[in-house]
Structure 1
């Protein structure tokens, strides 16, 4: 590959591939005009200065697309060599080097957002490391997806991945809420089931599906929109759809840019081979992650139980009436001979107290940076815990 030397080329040209090899550089006319106009004001600008300048513009400009284009051009060599160094690992994949280059270079916006040149030093060095991590994560993710059944995959993913998968497939918000709640009930019931490997979990038995459906019907009040009671057949269909969408999201089918036109391509035996080997290190990491999750779940359970016992008697009574006896706020107000707004205010205040306790614990123990999205997630976790805690006390 010919390395670019000219400043104008460095910030306005993009790598071309032919037969999966770097074959030259293509000039983007708009970027070329932009950098030429910039350099006409002074010919003393150096590469590092321009890189920092366009990086800042990509983060602060009202129209960052031009700056993003310059930075994407600037990082072409860094991306190429990052992928080139990983070639031995890429041999096992059906994608070609040019495909991996496109996968990595698509991460430029994220790199620019997370990199601070004043702290990270060389922007190219930071980008090179991140490009390599993007490819490694892609390979690890695809390998994991290939090993897992849909039922096992759903026990390993996070809520965030599930939501992103469903959003990517075009599901509306009420449907996503129902599916996420059904998935939460599925993991709550099916994860503790004894099985040698989570990866190869088979579909739950009818009795398990019935337990999941019952649990969902108990928890459905927390949905923002009304949801009718579900049968075990409906829950099974929803969970099956979740598995299909997560697999499609995590492992999209990629058509190589260098593939022959339809009608001319031929299949290979290796396309149908499945790697059945299992890394001992991967298994140990998986067990450690599961142990950590269970330990955190136990810590949260102990924390919230203690927090509930420290509430005043009226707050504890209110939680019992609402979550354990499933009374509405209006019914509670009538039973306690108070106004409904008093019940609503007291209930909100009690939840806020527990939410604050759980949030502080997350900051101090898990070192989580609290954002609005994090607070929403913690709030949902708290609501699920309250439902489960008082249901189990029946």
Structure 2
């Protein structure tokens, strides 16, 4: 893939696809103007990627610059591409192309920014790669489930939390309580005999719908604001709407950034929020801060390398085979002459050991309070660090 030249291009251009092939870069005019204006206000030119990543990240945190997410999204285009490329290569179905997968996760920049913690000394590209890969794998898994499910099976498998999220995403906020109650009544009364070897679930018959409606009409009176009395036909329509909203939420349409809008007025990537006001954030991010983060990264690498060296020989070999050779656990088991479950357990134990070492060091040296979200973050970063550490030197 052709690399972009210069800081301005790095933070204002997006990949263009023709079918499933990358054909070049498209400049987003508003982003280009924005970063050019910021550069002109600096006392001296600044061409450091770290400087501008930190700059836009702080702008995003302060919420004073609503183009900041767009700049970071532009910066992470290649990271997103390679995450999609790696995932689609190992995905058995040919239903979704590289372009589809790229478009599905390129919008996850805000999720990357929400979890990214630069004060811990990690690189945003490494973290974004892990998040993009994780999001895409989950998206593909969910879509496979959605594709093979009838509406009725989907509603049987659904959790209330996911249903509420789906309805909120569809803008059905005012009817959520009614829809959720109807769904609960469906869950309570529709439990047909499962047909072995099939994922299909037939539509309930009219008698079942009448019973569901009867239960709904009883239970609605217990709500703080009771909904209207309904018959079976209405309940069925509501649940079909629930299934439709859930499918749209689990796997939204993969629209291209370069697709035109309905009124032919422009492209999606042109419709970015306008700058509300000039940022009150300082124009110059102190270089010592960047140097300190680099120092933290080096110290963290030292901690993890030392922790790997403290593993027993089998543990070191399993970690190395898994990350450097891209071997499956079954292949590693065959290579080492042991059972596959031994590899699985040993790999998990080794990664837990490394995570404990990293968490302990972070608490003692960086004075970071440990909680479940921080540990989840560290686990994601550890995974990416291992991939990067064992990556062959001539690879991307």
Conserved? CA contact 2:103–2:255, under 8 Å: no
Give the corresponding residue for 1:143: 144
Conserved? CA contact 1:120–1:126, under 8 Å: no
Deviates more, 1:196-205 or 1:80-89: 196-205
Displacement of 1:12:
1.8
Displacement of 1:54:
0.8
Give the corresponding residue for 1:159: 160
Conserved? CA contact 1:95–1:256, under 8 Å: no
Give the corresponding residue for 1:225: 225
Conserved? CA contact 1:153–1:199, under 8 Å: no
Give the corresponding residue for 1:49: 51
Deviates more, 1:225-234 or 1:113-122: 225-234
Could you say what secondary structure the match of 1:86 adopts? helix
Give the corresponding residue for 1:375: none
Give the corresponding residue for 2:63: 61
Displacement of 1:2:
0.9
Displacement of 1:39:
3.5
Give structure 2 stretches of 5+ with no counterpart.
Answer: 260-371, 374-396
Gap change, CA 1:18 and 1:248, over 3 Å in 2:
closer
Displacement of 1:44:
4.5
Alpha carbon RMSD of aligned pairs, Å? Answer: 3.1
Give the corresponding residue for 1:237: 237
Between the aligned partners of 1:142 and 1:188, the Cα distance in structure 2 is 26
Conserved? CA contact 1:82–1:128, under 8 Å: yes
Could you say what secondary structure the match of 1:225 adopts? coil
Displacement of 1:251:
4.0
Superimposed CA distance per residue, residues 80-115 of structure 1 (whole angstroms, 9 cap, x where no aligned partner): 111111232457344432232121111111211222
Conserved? CA contact 2:142–2:250, under 8 Å: yes
**Are 2:194 and 1:195 equivalent residues in the alignment?**
yes
Could you say what secondary structure the match of 2:17 adopts? strand
Displacement of 1:153:
0.2
Give structure 1 stretches of 5+ with no counterpart.
Answer: 260-366, 369-394
- Aligned pairs for 1:101-140 (under 5 A) are 101-119=102-120, 121-140=122-141
Displacement of 1:156:
1.4
Gap change, CA 1:9 and 1:220, over 3 Å in 2:
same
- Aligned pairs for 1:14-25 (under 5 A) are 14-25=14-25
Could you say what secondary structure the match of 2:24 adopts? strand
How many residue pairs end up in the alignment? Answer: 259
Displacement of 1:127:
0.5
Q: Which protein is bigger by CA-based radius of gyration?
A: 1
Q: Using CA pairs below 8 Å that are at least 6 residues apart, which structure has the higher relative contact order?
A: 2
Superimposed CA distance per residue, residues 180-210 of structure 1 (whole angstroms, 9 cap, x where no aligned partner): 110012113335x542579422223445434
Displacement of 1:120:
6.8
Deviates more, 1:202-211 or 1:178-187: 202-211
Displacement of 1:128:
0.7
Gap change, CA 1:251 and 1:127, over 3 Å in 2:
closer
Conserved? CA contact 2:103–2:254, under 8 Å: no
Superimposed CA distance per residue, residues 213-253 of structure 1 (whole angstroms, 9 cap, x where no aligned partner): 33212210243434343333432332233223323443445
Between the aligned partners of 1:221 and 1:131, the Cα distance in structure 2 is 45
Could you say what secondary structure the match of 2:67 adopts? helix
Superimposed CA distance per residue, residues 353-374 of structure 1 (whole angstroms, 9 cap, x where no aligned partner): xxxxxxxxxxxxxx89xxxxxx
Could you say what secondary structure the match of 1:106 adopts? helix
Conserved? CA contact 2:104–2:254, under 8 Å: no
- State TM-score, norm by structure 1: 0.58
